[in-house]
Amino acid sequence: MVKVNDNYLKLPGSYLFSTIARKVNAYAAAHPDKRIIRLGIGDVTQPLAPAIISALHTAVDEMADAATFRGYAPDLGYEFLRSAIAENDYKARGCGIEADEIFVSDGAKCDSGNIQEIFSVDNKIAVCDPVYPVYVDTNVMAGRAGSYDPATETWSDVIYMPCTADTDFAPMLPKETPDLIYLCFPNNPTGSAVTKSRLQEWVDYANKVGAVIIYDAAYEAYISEEGIPHSIYECEGARTCAIELHSFSKNAGFTGVRLGYTVVPKELKVGDVSLHALWARRHGTKYNGAPYIVQRAGEAVYSKEGKEQLKKQVAYYMNNAAYILEGLKSAGYTVSGGVNAPYIWLKAPNGMTSWEFFDDLLENANVVGTPGSGFGPSGETYFRLTAFGSYENTVEAIERIKKL
Amino acid sequence: MVKVNDNYLKLPGSYLFSTIARKVNAYAAAHPDKRIIRLGIGDVTQPLAPAIISALHTAVDEMADAATFRGYAPDLGYEFLRSAIAENDYKARGCGIEADEIFVSDGAKCDSGNIQEIFSVDNKIAVCDPVYPVYVDTNVMAGRAGSYDPATETWSDVIYMPCTADTDFAPMLPKETPDLIYLCFPNNPTGSAVTKSRLQEWVDYANKVGAVIIYDAAYEAYISEEGIPHSIYECEGARTCAIELHSFSKNAGFTGVRLGYTVVPKELKVGDVSLHALWARRHGTKYNGAPYIVQRAGEAVYSKEGKEQLKKQVAYYMNNAAYILEGLKSAGYTVSGGVNAPYIWLKAPNGMTSWEFFDDLLENANVVGTPGSGFGPSGETYFRLTAFGSYENTVEAIERIKKL
């Protein structure tokens, strides 16, 4: 008699963004006259840059001709893309990451969910609190999180690292020693960043205790200040303790195009076992590569035209971020983030909970954001807005919020 | 101190097709003058059909305009694609599968590897022998296969169902009762098919013993004979015991485009637990949808023009299959498959093992096939050729083999 994976049954409710979508859809259905502005899920709104569109069309045409048609992609991704990544995202920043340490995928969400598979179920994970739910939920599914306590909204076997106003929304080294440490900087959801010297402390700590850091760098393109690392491999010793995840969703607007990559350095070993070899095996066995046309689109991200166009696109969103930040500040809100990240983290006003403020904003301003409590208990009373709307919508949303 | 997933370390050698690629690359490097014909990995060679190319270009243009740009896709896939699938692949065949029972993905390989996650590690799997390696390897990685015996090349906790000449290359109901049964018809690698009445026996059996069938229908477009089911849902009772996997790789040449789907009927339950709900949770948590442009390409597969063009493409490959079948038969080989499937299964001549014949063919005919033993112990002394080459290459490969 077949049995299900009981770990799935431990998961409370549904995935955060599905819940939001349901609530918003219900409100929209009941109020068809209201124009809802979505600054919630972190989806981009600007069209793909011309250099990327052009690369896509060219690649589509190649697929129409037997002489240039491409079937299965190489296991790790096409050399042209992996080389462009190694050159631009690493060597240009002084990080010695080679093309064959890069695994091309269909996005950082998948990779951040799948990467735990190569580790033992007995490992203990540490996560920031608040945190991107995928890190925790995928570990729950694997049976690594213990049991859920609805009162505290925490898992018995997960080490939480509170990121609050007291810590500048950055985690402190945990008291209990973890085996796997999930870090995301610039941070989702708080929009905070850490300096290179702070990140170096984490690398040194992981090397000392024999932990592996899963470093999510999905938002690095939004870093505007000096001294903030774009990659964990800027830190000494990271090659022996860190895996880095990258997305093309936010720097190039690929949320609907789907492309990402993961770096597993060849020196990264557990005893004699190469994590690069394990991830290669997982990749080769359970995955069949990102579409050829999408990998060509990824290559265009690193072209001269692509870089210039995307710099403008990021600047467009960061202009929104600045508008949100200033607008909310002037309206008396307590806000952070939005300087090195496209996320603005604000305190719900008047002692409201995160979901109370969500409902208030949806019903009275027709603006959708993300309740901070959805990211973890320390997110309670906080709220996330994203800079990924159009400028016009962003301005209108802030004006509506100011009038509340 | 971090620990790895020890189950990965149990896997012997590397993934079959990676091994083949390494051998072929080594031979090609040593003999740059030889023209190698690849009838091994099952990759297609014909360009995408014009209707699909046109849909891709249109979708790319939509991504260039903020008014039509698409970000994150809906969790299950776009409605336009799921409806087209439900209508064409199911309702037109009398199968009551609804659009919301269809989960769009980036391919059947991923789905066939991931589907085991929603089941308990304690479940016992049954697989055909020979078998597509992904079914077994992903269960090994999950810790469901027990220990490997190099002498018999089998796993202690896996139930093997030999598919040999004695059984017409179809599996018999196993003596030991499994919890999960992997079936693939038309079969990879043997190219065999089963009648609807034979498949009905499996459905009845699964419902009786409380097992779930994972039914891989990746090759259904190649069925040419009457009475061979295109979907397991043509059988009565399949909605309460079967999950079906589909690929666009072989019917539409999407090996490098990446699209597939999985059907989990809403009636399919284990006790009170809906497998549809579990898979939806997995999909929503670890996956972010197939690219919009690729889903539009999938929609074009079901357009009037797309259907006509793809019918010709399938016929082109099946013409190759007939050529291989007849050619090898006339040369005295023992062959099967190739009638309802793009795979031809042949007995290695002169008492050779599968790998001996692989080397012989690579070195003396410069033709690449797949050793049957790579698919399981009952595949030993057998060999798989695919019909996915160009007609010219197929003809030349057969002429070369005839001269051996």
Q: Considering only alpha carbons, which residue of chain B is nearest residue A284?
A: B15
Whether A249 maps to a domain, the answer reads yes
Q: Which whole number is the average pLDDT over B224-237? A: 98
Average pLDDT over all residues of chain B: 96
pLDDT-derived band of residue B18, with 50, 70 and 90 as boundaries?
confident
Name the minimum distance, in Å, from the CA of B58 to any CA of chain A: 10
Name the minimum distance, in Å, from the CA of B349 to any CA of chain A: 30
Per the CB < 8 Å rule, is B286 touching A110? yes
Tokens of B79: 């409605």
Tokens of A113: 């969910």
Least Cα distance to A183 among A249, A120, A115 occurs for A115
Q: What is the C-alpha to C-alpha distance for residues B261 and B110, in angstroms, rounded to an integer?
A: 10
Domain shared by A311 and A213, yes or no = no
Whether A255 maps to a domain, the answer reads yes
Q: Considering only alpha carbons, which residue of chain B is nearest residue A254?
A: B71
Q: Which residue has the higher pLDDT, B75 or A125?
A: A125
Q: Measured in Å, how far apart are chain A's first and last C-alpha atoms?
A: 57
Q: Which pLDDT score is estimated for B223?
A: 98
The answer to whether residue A14 scores a pLDDT higher than 70 is no
Structure confidence by residue, pLDDT tens digits, B242-251: 999 999 999 9
**CA A388, A391, A397 angle in degrees (round to 5)?**
85
The answer to whether residue A362 scores a pLDDT higher than 70 is yes
Structure confidence by residue, pLDDT tens digits, B373-390: 999 999 999 999 999 999
| Residue B272 φ then ψ, to 5° | -90, -5
The answer to whether residue B73 scores a pLDDT higher than 80 is yes
Residues of A in contact with B110 (CB under 8 A): 286-288
Least Cα distance to B363 among B320, B330, B321, B401 occurs for B401
Q: Which whole number is the average pLDDT over A284-307? A: 97
pTM above 0.90, yes or no: yes
Q: Considering only alpha carbons, which residue of chain A is nearest residue B65?
A: A47
Q: What is the CATH number of the domain that holds A234?
A: 3.40.640.10
Domain shared by B224 and B286, yes or no = yes
Per the CB < 8 Å rule, is B46 touching A66? yes
Q: Are strands A260-263 and A102-105 parallel, antiparallel or unpaired?
A: antiparallel
Per the CB < 8 Å rule, is B138 touching A285? yes
Domain shared by A270 and A208, yes or no = yes
Per the CB < 8 Å rule, is B284 touching A14? yes
Structure confidence by residue, pLDDT tens digits, A224-270: 999 999 999 999 999 999 999 999 999 999 999 999 999 999 999 99
Per the CB < 8 Å rule, is B118 touching A75? no
Residues of A in contact with B70 (CB under 8 A): 256
Helix axes A16-30, A354-364, angle to 10 degrees: 30
Residues of B in contact with A9 (CB under 8 A): 273
Residue type, B241: C
Residues of A in contact with B133 (CB under 8 A): 285
Name the minimum distance, in Å, from the CA of A151 to any CA of chain B: 23
Residues of A in contact with B75 (CB under 8 A): 18
Domain that holds residue B20: 12-46+307-402
DSSP secondary structure of B60-123: HHHHTSTTT---SPPTT--HHHHHHHIIIIIGGGT----GGGEEEES-HHHHHHHGGGGB-TTP
Q: Considering only alpha carbons, which residue of chain A is nearest residue B208?
A: A1
Per the CB < 8 Å rule, is B278 touching A390? no
Structure confidence by residue, pLDDT tens digits, B109-150: 999 999 999 999 999 999 999 999 999 999 999 999 999 999
Of B271, B304, B337, at which residue does a domain stop? B304
Whether B7 maps to a domain, the answer reads no
Domain shared by A103 and A206, yes or no = yes
| Residue A337 φ then ψ, to 5° | 75, -165
Per the CB < 8 Å rule, is B107 touching A288? yes
Average pLDDT over all residues of chain A: 96
Whether B312 maps to a domain, the answer reads yes
Residues of A in contact with B6 (CB under 8 A): 120
H or E segment to which residue A243 belongs: strand A242-247
Q: Which pLDDT score is estimated for A11?
A: 93
Q: What is the CATH number of the domain that holds A44?
A: 3.90.1150.10
Residues of A in contact with B288 (CB under 8 A): 106-107, 109-110, 255, 258
Domain shared by A65 and A27, yes or no = no
Residue with tokens 């109020």: A31
DSSP secondary structure of B227-274: T--SSGGGSTTGGGTEEEEEESTTTS--TTT--EEEE--TT-EETTEE
Q: Which pLDDT score is estimated for B4?
A: 97
Per the CB < 8 Å rule, is A141 touching B47? no
pLDDT-derived band of residue B75, with 50, 70 and 90 as boundaries?
confident
Domain shared by A136 and A14, yes or no = no
Least Cα distance to B108 among B215, B6, B211, B233 occurs for B215
Q: Are strands B212-216 and B180-184 parallel, antiparallel or unpaired?
A: parallel
Name the minimum distance, in Å, from the CA of B54 to any CA of chain A: 9
Whether A1 maps to a domain, the answer reads no
Structure confidence by residue, pLDDT tens digits, A71-83: 999 989 999 999 9
Per the CB < 8 Å rule, is A47 touching B53? no
Q: What is the C-alpha to C-alpha distance for residues B113 and B107, in angstroms, rounded to an integer?
A: 10
Domain shared by A270 and A130, yes or no = yes
Whether B6 maps to a domain, the answer reads no
Domain shared by B384 and B314, yes or no = yes
Of B271, B289, B304, at which residue does a domain stop? B304
Q: Which pLDDT score is estimated for B100?
A: 97
Given B5, B43, B57, which is nearest A118 (Cβ)? B5
Domain shared by B236 and B225, yes or no = yes
Per the CB < 8 Å rule, is B117 touching A44? no
Omega within 30 of 0 (cis) for the link into A186: yes
Domain shared by B332 and B218, yes or no = no
Q: Which pLDDT score is estimated for A18?
A: 79
Q: What is the C-alpha to C-alpha distance for residues A346 and A328, in angstroms, rounded to an integer?
A: 8
The answer to whether residue B206 scores a pLDDT higher than 90 is yes
Residue type, A281: R
> Contact A2/B180 with Cβ under 8 angstroms?
yes
Residue with tokens 């708080």: A190
Of A255, A287, A303, at which residue does a domain stop? A303
Per the CB < 8 Å rule, is A390 touching B110? no
Domain count, chain B: 2
Name the minimum distance, in Å, from the CA of A146 to any CA of chain B: 16
Q: Considering only alpha carbons, which residue of chain A is nearest residue B272?
A: A4
H or E segment to which residue B155 belongs: strand B154-155
Domain shared by B87 and B199, yes or no = yes
Given B18, B41, B257, which is nearest A284 (Cβ)? B18
| Residue B242 φ then ψ, to 5° | -130, 140
Whether A320 maps to a domain, the answer reads yes
Residues of A in contact with B256 (CB under 8 A): 63, 69-73, 289, 291-292
Q: Which pLDDT score is estimated for B14?
A: 66
Q: ipTM score here?
A: 0.96
Per the CB < 8 Å rule, is B210 touching A1? yes
Q: Which pLDDT score is estimated for B19?
A: 84
Structure confidence by residue, pLDDT tens digits, A320-338: 999 999 999 999 999 999 9
Q: Which whole number is the average pLDDT over A54-70? A: 98
Q: What letter does residue B90 receive in the DSSP assignment?
A: I
Per the CB < 8 Å rule, is B110 touching A287? yes
Domain shared by B177 and B322, yes or no = no
Per the CB < 8 Å rule, is B75 touching A18? yes
Per the CB < 8 Å rule, is B15 touching A72? no
> Contact B206/B213 with Cβ under 8 angstroms?
yes
CA-to-CA separations, B401 to A341, B329, B361, B398, in angstroms, rounded: 61, 12, 7, 5
Per the CB < 8 Å rule, is B65 touching A47? yes
Residues of A in contact with B290 (CB under 8 A): 258
Q: Which whole number is the average pLDDT over B21-34? A: 95
Whether A221 maps to a domain, the answer reads yes
The answer to whether residue A42 scores a pLDDT higher than 90 is no
| Residue B341 φ then ψ, to 5° | -155, 155
Structure confidence by residue, pLDDT tens digits, B150-203: 999 999 999 999 999 999 999 999 999 999 999 999 999 999 999 999 999 999
Size of interface A-B (CB pairs under 8 A): 243
Q: Which pLDDT score is estimated for A359?
A: 96
